[in-house]
């Protein structure tokens, strides 16, 4: 939890009960009962306040006593000690922060990282409520909710509901298990007060938490069950594997689209159909972290540690207690030791003392601020510090980068160099990744020759298998190059069947235009369920899509046009995202930027155009121009370009100086 996240949470101490078991007449307010030298609520307050952005107290009497904390005190809006839900309602109504967490006034032993763990659980599961548990035992008054549940709670109370469990049952809930009953020790009677006062139970300690989602809270977008154990894997159930549920029939899917016209299909609709039809493949492998490069993570990586592990210094200088500093005059502190990175200062820093500290070193106990080297004056062991330094300056909090128990990486992430380093920084040696996708491809056309053969009149070298090879290799799939397949029904059918049997997806080029004299379209249509589209785009109008089968195996089919540039455009804009979806990736779309066009461009509304462009910085601004000749057979234009200029469906002519969208060919990722 970052400091900013902490600020987003109101902490509400529930002290609004009747305390009926404390004394027969209920006259004693147990929050104010003496316990180990202070009042019960003092213990709770001290433990709670550092965990939240601000504290509020819910109380229904003795307000003057609670006001002594200098925080807001709120009473129940519904009368007669209606219970913790009424208190929660009062707190939520008064709070302006997005989250609210409750603790009862009579449980002084709760963990020092209660809120942090509940917050992480709530946010990594996307639920509405986090409830603390110890094993199977729930502790419903230790709860974190989003402020957005207020209206829902008001309705519940209006309907006469008072029971906290009954209301919780209506929410999407995550249970956060702290594994230790003693942390939630609760004082209700004078006997309990006395027993605990004598030193029972064991002092509070931090326990390893686990959290799980209720079975009742499944929702399609939320991550699947997340346990803290880093080796836990999201179960590969069919529901999880499917992403958006894929209908069985392509015909059924396209019939659900409004204004579906296969002969003038907008680019956005093409992707909608494709992404709803394809499914993520099953299969997970466990590999060493380095072998995970460019693979897709199959599970959430939950941080087993806080990063950084301890509060530490962001500068070289002196660690001090902010309360020793002055806003108006310089102060002299005496240096009592040093804290170095990897070698912490043991001992306590008392008033008037300070400790020399290096960047990254653990903050000495008692210190909260680091005074940088550059601004102090040193005279032997006397360290002179100028006025005006704010408390907390140059201190980094434990868990500031990554809190223990939070998701460092989510399933679906492609592992790049940064991810490998991040995983290693958590001490994790192996990861589970999705199996590689298998993609077969071949070219069709009687005019095609492979490199190494000689060309006769009217023949061309097959270049599409080379661009496809390059584009597929970069996606990190396993591929099978099936060569050029002649326009012969038996050969074509055999090629499609082999591909359907061996691969998850098959990509062909050529032979899908209407009015083609060849057999490709007929055989595609015969071997499975395939739609033939004329897409409202340029280049790359014709395309076939569907699934072809051989026995009990099948593969997704992308029948791309033959033109070399059209192959690349349709691959990048339709095939790539679909393959990534099948691979389990969570990022399917290439990023778009915007740039100033340095030249006018003719563009008809009603189709998407992908011009080959050169993006460059001119006069401090991103500008783009076309590579000139934009014919769909001109591969050279792709080579000269460094981006697509994406002229969107409804866009008309472009004037010089207009902003246009561009999509870069290459990136560092």
The contact set with ligand AMP (CB under 6 A) reads 443, 445, 447-448, 460, 462-464, 509-511, 513, 561-564
Cβ 474 to ligand AMP shortest distance, Å = 19
Residue with smaller CB distance to ligand AMP, 394 or 513: 513
Going by C-alpha positions, the residue among 420, 164, 402, 377 that lies closest to residue 289 is 420
Instruction: Tally the residues of the chain.
Output: 669
Residue with smaller CB distance to Mg ion, 178 or 441: 441
Residue 513 interacts, among ligand AMP, Mg ion, none and using kind-specific CB cut-offs from 5 to 8 Å, with ligand AMP
Residue with smaller CB distance to Mg ion, 324 or 518: 518
Query: What CA–CA distance (Å, rounded) separates 289 from 409?
Result: 13
Please state, as a whole number, how many other Cβ atoms lie within 10 Å of the Cβ of residue 639.
11
Cβ 513 to Mg ion shortest distance, Å = 7
Cβ 539 to ligand AMP shortest distance, Å = 10
Residue 509 interacts, among Mg ion, ligand AMP, none and using kind-specific CB cut-offs from 5 to 8 Å, with ligand AMP
β-strand pairing of 317-320 with 38-39: unpaired
Residue 564 interacts, among Mg ion, ligand AMP, none and using kind-specific CB cut-offs from 5 to 8 Å, with ligand AMP
Cβ 562 to Mg ion shortest distance, Å = 5
Please state, as a whole number, how many other Cβ atoms lie within 10 Å of the Cβ of residue 34.
11
Secondary structure of residue 566 in the 3-state scheme: helix
Q: How far apart are the first and last CA of the chain?
A: 27
Residue with smaller CB distance to ligand AMP, 176 or 531: 531
Going by C-alpha positions, the residue among 508, 542, 517 that lies closest to residue 632 is 542
Name the residue number minimizing CB distance to ligand AMP. Answer: 562
Cβ 512 to ligand AMP shortest distance, Å = 6
CA 9 to each of CA 12, 69, 100, 164, 304: distance values in angstroms, whole numbers, following the listed order:
10, 18, 5, 21, 24
Say if CB 348 and CB 371 are below 8 A apart.
no
Residue with smaller CB distance to ligand AMP, 203 or 515: 515
Residue with smaller CB distance to ligand AMP, 197 or 516: 516
Cβ 561 to ligand AMP shortest distance, Å = 5
Say if CB 55 and CB 69 are below 8 A apart.
yes
Look-up of token digits 């952005």: 53
Residue with smaller CB distance to ligand AMP, 145 or 535: 535
Contacting residues for 228 by C-beta, under 8 A, at least 6 apart: 208, 209, 210, 211, 302, 304, 405
Structure tokens at 369: 């601020």
- How far from the centroid of its chain's Cα atoms is residue 459's Cα? 51
Residue with smaller CB distance to Mg ion, 51 or 444: 444
Cβ 545 to ligand AMP shortest distance, Å = 15
Residue with smaller CB distance to ligand AMP, 546 or 564: 564
Going by C-alpha positions, the residue among 132, 108, 138 that lies closest to residue 119 is 132
Instruction: Name the packing angle between helices 84-94 and 150-158 (round to 10°).
Output: 140
Residue with smaller CB distance to ligand AMP, 122 or 499: 499
Residue with smaller CB distance to Mg ion, 51 or 509: 509
Cβ 608 to ligand AMP shortest distance, Å = 19
Cβ 507 to ligand AMP shortest distance, Å = 11
Look-up of token digits 């993609």: 439
Structure tokens at 129: 């409520």
* Pairs from 358-365 (Cβ < 8 Å, separation ≥ 24): 358/313, 358/316, 359/313, 359/314, 359/315, 359/316, 360/308, 360/312, 360/313, 361/312, 361/313, 362/310, 362/311, 362/312, 363/310, 363/311, 363/312, 363/313, 363/319, 363/339, 363/395, 364/319, 364/337, 364/339
Look-up of token digits 């529901």: 239
Cβ 638 to ligand AMP shortest distance, Å = 13
Cβ 307 to ligand AMP shortest distance, Å = 50
Residue with smaller CB distance to ligand AMP, 631 or 657: 631
What φ, ψ does residue 14 adopt, rounded to 5°? -85, 105
Residue with smaller CB distance to ligand AMP, 628 or 631: 631
H/E run at residue 372: strand 369-372
Residue 303 interacts, among Mg ion, ligand AMP, none and using kind-specific CB cut-offs from 5 to 8 Å, with none
- How far from the centroid of its chain's Cα atoms is residue 521's Cα? 42
Cβ 266 to ligand AMP shortest distance, Å = 21
Residue 561 interacts, among Mg ion, ligand AMP, none and using kind-specific CB cut-offs from 5 to 8 Å, with ligand AMP
CB-based burial, 107-131: b 16+ in 10 Å, e otherwise: bbbbbebbbbbbbbbbbbbebbbbb
Cβ 486 to ligand AMP shortest distance, Å = 12
Cβ 473 to ligand AMP shortest distance, Å = 17
Residue with smaller CB distance to ligand AMP, 53 or 546: 546
* Residues engaged in binding Mg ion (CB under 5 A): 445, 510-511, 562
Residue 577 interacts, among Mg ion, ligand AMP, none and using kind-specific CB cut-offs from 5 to 8 Å, with none
Query: What CA–CA distance (Å, rounded) separates 434 from 615?
Result: 35
């Amino acid at each position: 939890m970052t400091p900013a996240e902490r600020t987003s949470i109101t902490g509400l101490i529930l002290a609004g009960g009747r305390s009926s078991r404390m004394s027969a007449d209920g006259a004693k307010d147990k929050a104010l009962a003496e316990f180990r030298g202070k009042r019960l609520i003092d213990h709770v307050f001290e433990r709670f306040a550092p965990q939240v952005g601000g504290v509020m107290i819910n109380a229904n009497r003795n307000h003057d006593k609670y006001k002594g904390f200098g925080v807001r005190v709120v009473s129940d809006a519904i009368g007669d000690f209606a219970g913790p839900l009424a208190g929660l309602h009062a707190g939520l109504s008064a709070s302006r922060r997005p989250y609210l967490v409750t603790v009862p006034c009579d449980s002084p032993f709760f963990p020092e990282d209660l809120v942090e763990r509940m917050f992480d659980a709530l946010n990594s599961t996307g639920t509405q409520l986090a409830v603390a548990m110890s094993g199977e035992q729930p502790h419903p008054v230790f709860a974190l909710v989003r402020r957005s549940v207020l209206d829902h709670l008001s309705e519940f109370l209006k309907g006469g509901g008072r029971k906290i469990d009954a209301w919780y049952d209506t929410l999407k809930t995550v249970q956060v298990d702290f594994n230790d009953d003693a942390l939630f020790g609760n004082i209700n009677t004078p006997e309990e007060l006395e027993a605990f006062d004598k030193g029972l139970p064991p002092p509070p300690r931090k326990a390893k938490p686990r959290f799980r989602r209720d079975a009742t809270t499944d929702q399609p977008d939320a991550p699947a069950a997340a346990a803290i154990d880093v080796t836990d894997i999201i179960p590969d159930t069919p529901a999880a594997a499917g992403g958006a549920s894929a209908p069985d029939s392509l015909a059924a899917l396209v019939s659900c689209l409004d204004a579906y016209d296969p002969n003038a299909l907008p680019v956005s609709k093409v992707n909608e159909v494709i992404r709803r039809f394809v499914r993520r493949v099953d299969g997970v492998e466990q590999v060493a972290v380095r072998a995970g490069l460019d693979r897709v993570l199959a599970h959430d990586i939950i941080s087993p540690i806080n990063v950084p592990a301890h509060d530490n210094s962001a500068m070289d200088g002196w660690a001090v207690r902010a309360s020793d500093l002055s806003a108006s005059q310089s102060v002299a502190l005496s240096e009592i030791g040093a804290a170095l990175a990897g070698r912490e200062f043991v001992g306590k820093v008392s008033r008037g003392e300070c400790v020399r500290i290096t960047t990254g070193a653990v903050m000495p106990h008692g210190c909260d601020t680091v005074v940088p080297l550059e601004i102090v004056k040193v005279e032997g062991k006397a360290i002179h510090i100028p006025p005006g330094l704010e408390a907390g300056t140059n201190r980094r909090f434990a868990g500031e980068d990554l809190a223990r128990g939070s998701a460092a990486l989510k399933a679906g992430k492609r592992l790049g160099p940064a991810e490998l380093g991040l995983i290693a920084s958590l001490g994790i040696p192996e990861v589970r990744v999705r199996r590689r996708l298998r993609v077969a491809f071949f070219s069709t056309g009687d005019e095609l020759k492979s490199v190494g053969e000689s060309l006769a009149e009217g023949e061309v070298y097959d270049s599409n298998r080379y661009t496809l090879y390059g584009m597929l290799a970069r996606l990190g799939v396993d591929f099978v190059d099936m060569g050029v397949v002649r326009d012969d029904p038996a050969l074509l059918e055999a090629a499609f069947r082999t591909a359907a049997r061996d691969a998850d997806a098959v990509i062909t080029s050529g032979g899908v235009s209407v009015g083609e004299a060849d057999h490709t379209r007929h055989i595609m249509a015969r071997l499975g369920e395939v739609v033939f589209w004329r897409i409202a785009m340029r280049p790359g109008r014709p395309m076939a899509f569907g699934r072809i089968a051989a026995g009990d195996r099948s593969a997704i089919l992308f029948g791309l046009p033959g033109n070399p540039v059209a192959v690349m455009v349709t691959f990048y804009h339709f095939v790539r995202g679909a393959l990534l979806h099948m691979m389990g990736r969570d990022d399917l779309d290439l990023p778009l930027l915007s740039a100033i066009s340095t030249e006018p461009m003719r563009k008809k509304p009603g189709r998407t155009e992908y011009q080959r462009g050169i993006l460059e910085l001119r006069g401090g601004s991103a500008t783009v121009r076309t590579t000139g000749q934009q014919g769909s057979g001109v591969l050279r234009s792709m080579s000269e370009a460094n981006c697509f200029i994406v002229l969107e469906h409804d866009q008309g002519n472009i004037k010089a100086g207009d902003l246009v969208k561009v999509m870069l060919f290459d990136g560092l990722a």
